[in-house]
Amino acid sequence: MSNSATETFGSNVFNDKTMRERLPKETYKAFRKAVDNNYPLDAQLASVIANAMKDWAVEKGATHFTHWFQPMTGVTAEKHDAFISPDGKDGAILEFSGKELIKGESDASSFPSGGLRATFEARGYTAWDPTSYAFIKDNTLCIPTAFCSFGGEALDKKTPLLRSMDAISNQAMRILRLFGNTDTDKVITTVGAEQEYFLIDADAYYKRRDLVNCGRTLFGARPSKGQELDDHYYGSIKPRVMKFMSELDEELWKLGIYAKTEHNEVAPAQHELAPVFSTTNIATDQNQLTMEMMKRVAANNGLVCLLHEKPFACINGSGKHNNWSLSTDKGVNLLEPGDTPEENAQFLLFLLAVVKAVDEYQDLLRISVASAGNDNRLGANEAPPAIISVFLGDEIEDILNSIETGALYGKRKKQVVEIGVTVLPKITKDTTDRNRTSPFAFTGNKFEFRMPGSNFSIAEANTVINTIVANSLSDFADELENSVDFMSALKTLIKRTITEHKRIIFNGNNYSDEWLKEAGKRGLLNLKTTPLALKHYLLEKNVALFTKFKIYTPAELTSRHEILLENYCKVINIEVQTATAMLYRDILPSVFDYMNVLSELIKNKIAIGVGATYKAEEKLLKRISVLTDSVCDKADEFAILTANVNKSEEELADYYAGTVLPALQEIRSLVDELETLIPTASLPYPTYYELINSVR
């Protein structure tokens, strides 16, 4: 970082450093104590903090404040209030009370609630999450908050995430105590979310209804050169993109986000940003802000940042790699192999907690990344398939095998791994990070969940990961706490867990057909579409899990299920409407114009008596004409398929996935073929070639 970068880093964040400087010592101490121990803040404390926050924000030019929250729409929401208040003497003062800091009330009837908020009770409440820092954006002091209904049900993505962080901390503490650890007070989950995105020119973007409405192209023939040569990956960055990246870094640094590496991705026009990891809820807030800033900085540069999971067919889509680990409040990573036999035993237990969790709750992980957009990407040989498995690498698999069967392990095959006795070899990062096809890969000291789509909030995925691992740890603790001899109970538990859950471990190529077959034999789930995945959401075992750890109430789960289904149907419906509009308003008129040109040509030639030489024109006209007929026939069928569908939400989702999307795909293939026969200048919108090369 340059000097100016280190100076501006975090300058727009009311972070710990600023609080220490700005708050009276006693207030700061009381605040820290409350946050570290999850105590509620008392009114007096809140009002001192609010005042200091306001003074700081006003000095930085802020005029408004907002409770910034993450409703179920997936984007963040804010409602701005001015600091300004009448002073009673025709003047004005700037005010911000403790009450305004801690709690907000908003008329939230337009946010999705899945039936949780009855219409007569439209109020929603926002409550400050003091574990995430307040920040300034657009002259507005933004206060990260949780959002709930009048009855206290969560209406957002942050509340369950915070609950899940508590749950995993509590359960991990039980395990640590069993290993004689007395100095840890809390266990923290950490996340680093790598973000992929496309940049295209704004002029090209606005010429396409599908990109504007749906975020992805619904038509478009494969370009003659796409990503085949892999020449974009880590390639040199174009000046316009360079400018975007450096402006983005600057904006993110001001917000205290350690944007670290930026590079070109595999697909042309695709790029990636990786931040330095932080606590899960901060990482989640920061990822939301990163996406927002990407869009904004792009717009300032005449670009559009596409965050859709699959903007272009035949070209890799974008994902978000969710790197997840857990560590003690003293900074010890619990997924890092240790140097002593005891540390290794503990490491293996935590590792197996994750393996068991992923095996038992494959469906919940799949649901946490389920959306109409991501369905286009998963399993398309560019992202993991819809089948969940865990990659551990050969070294660890060898170790687990030795523990389970008593086989000799390692290159020299000299020893059997014995829990509590063997010092494990250093697991090298290189060997664990090689497999890029796995949905859930151990990468040396963390797991990388590679299924989330680029457009997702990472809140759901991490809520699920935290909860299911908490559940494994809780099962383990129940068993070990009741044992007479800890070491022998531990050995039995580890061995049994390997036997019971090894089916989920797979180190091979997840994109291969052999895996598809093998996974079927192992009885692993393959929930290919969002509607299929959602059928698992309310299974008894899942409701039991979430209620056991108080992550969701049954009512909250039902409402989320409904929102997800509804959202899926809405997205497909918009795609249907958009495709139809493009077909009749853009594509067919252009095709007819060109056919007219060709037939005029033929007519003129006939008129001047050179009839023998119109073969080429006639041939082309015929081809286009036949294809156009097929397109129109398909479009008629499609219109019948999609008109007045009278079904329940769940039936509708199944129908969209099973019938409507395949029909749309058939029309697309025909239209794409047609596109290749029409001159570029006669096409109603920019082609793939123009789109992916639009940024110079």
Backbone angles phi, psi at 198, to 5 degrees: -110, 150
Q: Which range in 22-30, 141-149, 184-192, 632-640 contacts ligand ADP by CB under 6 A?
A: 184-192
Residue 322 within binding range of ligand ADP, rule CB under 6 A = no
Residue 439 within binding range of ligand ADP, rule CB under 6 A = no
Which of ligand ADP, Mg ion, none lies near 132, with the C-beta cut-off 5 to 8 A by kind?
A: none
Q: Are 434 and 506 in contact (CB under 8 A)?
A: no
Residue 54 within binding range of Mg ion, rule CB under 5 A = no
Residue 420's closest CA among 354, 489, 332? 489
Residue for token pair 């050179």: 610
Task: Give Dmax (Cα) for the chain.
Answer: 105
- Of 46, 274, 388, 657, the residue at the interface with ligand ADP (CB under 6 A) is 274
Between CA 249 and CA 242 the distance in angstroms is: 11
- Of 433, 479, 617, 666, the residue at the interface with ligand ADP (CB under 6 A) is 433
Strands 187-201 and 278-279: antiparallel
Between CA 242 and CA 264 the distance in angstroms is: 10
Which of Mg ion, ligand ADP, none lies near 446, with the C-beta cut-off 5 to 8 A by kind?
A: ligand ADP
Q: Are 522 and 511 in contact (CB under 8 A)?
A: no
Residue 599's closest CA among 587, 614, 582? 614
Between CA 251 and CA 617 the distance in angstroms is: 56
Compare residues 321 and 560 and give the one whose CB is closer to ligand ADP.
321
Of 9-48, binders to ligand ADP (CB under 6 A) are: none
User: Nearest approach, Cβ of 581 to Mg ion (angstroms)?
Assistant: 38
CA atoms in the 13 A half-sphere facing the CB of 553: 9
Q: Which range in 443-451, 467-475, 533-541, 641-649 contacts ligand ADP by CB under 6 A?
A: 443-451
Residue 390's closest CA among 361, 364, 428, 354? 354
Of 328-387, binders to ligand ADP (CB under 6 A) are: 333
Collect contacts of 491-497 with beta carbons under 8 A, ≥24 apart: 491/418, 491/419, 491/420, 493/349, 494/345, 494/348, 494/349, 494/352, 494/403, 494/419, 495/403, 495/404, 497/352, 497/355, 497/356
Residue 191 within binding range of ligand ADP, rule CB under 6 A = yes
38 in the Ramachandran plot: left (φ > 0), alpha (ψ -120 to 50) or beta? left
User: Nearest approach, Cβ of 189 to ligand ADP (angstroms)?
Assistant: 8
Binding mask 556-595 for ligand ADP (x = CB under 6 A): ----------------------------------------
Q: Which range in 271-279, 287-295, 342-350, 522-530 contacts ligand ADP by CB under 6 A?
A: 271-279
- Of 192, 337, 452, 686, the residue at the interface with ligand ADP (CB under 6 A) is 192
User: Nearest approach, Cβ of 376 to ligand ADP (angstroms)?
Assistant: 24
- Site size with ligand ADP, rule: CB under 6 A: 16
Q: Which range in 109-117, 142-150, 185-193, 246-254 contacts ligand ADP by CB under 6 A?
A: 185-193
Residue 445 within binding range of ligand ADP, rule CB under 6 A = yes
Q: Count of CB atoms within 10 A of residue 233's CB?
A: 16
CA atoms in the 13 A half-sphere facing the CB of 340: 3
Residue 449 within binding range of ligand ADP, rule CB under 6 A = no
User: Nearest approach, Cβ of 187 to ligand ADP (angstroms)?
Assistant: 13
User: Nearest approach, Cβ of 55 to ligand ADP (angstroms)?
Assistant: 34
Q: Count of CB atoms within 10 A of residue 116's CB?
A: 24
Residue 341's closest CA among 415, 272, 407? 415
Which of Mg ion, ligand ADP, none lies near 271, with the C-beta cut-off 5 to 8 A by kind?
A: none
Q: Which range in 216-224, 394-402, 440-448, 458-466 contacts ligand ADP by CB under 6 A?
A: 440-448
Residue 305's identity, in one-letter code, is C
Compare residues 320 and 668 and give the one whose CB is closer to Mg ion.
320
User: Nearest approach, Cβ of 212 to ligand ADP (angstroms)?
Assistant: 31
Residue 232 within binding range of ligand ADP, rule CB under 6 A = no
Angle between the 341-360 and 158-178 helix axes, to the nearest 10 degrees?
140
Residue 190 within binding range of ligand ADP, rule CB under 6 A = yes
User: Nearest approach, Cβ of 449 to ligand ADP (angstroms)?
Assistant: 11
Residue 393 within binding range of ligand ADP, rule CB under 6 A = no
168 SS3 class: helix
Residue 279 within binding range of ligand ADP, rule CB under 6 A = no
User: Nearest approach, Cβ of 324 to ligand ADP (angstroms)?
Assistant: 6
Compare residues 321 and 356 and give the one whose CB is closer to Mg ion.
321
For residue 244, the Cα-to-chain-centroid distance in whole angstroms is: 22
Q: Are 312 and 486 in contact (CB under 8 A)?
A: no
Compare residues 192 and 319 and give the one whose CB is closer to ligand ADP.
192
Compare residues 198 and 449 and give the one whose CB is closer to ligand ADP.
449
Compare residues 321 and 377 and give the one whose CB is closer to Mg ion.
321
Compare residues 192 and 453 and give the one whose CB is closer to ligand ADP.
192
Residue 629's closest CA among 667, 676, 663, 686? 667
Residue 98's closest CA among 27, 32, 162, 163? 27
Of 290-329, binders to Mg ion (CB under 5 A) are: 321
Q: Which residues bind ligand ADP (CB under 6 A)?
A: 190-192, 194, 274-277, 323-325, 333, 433, 443, 445-446
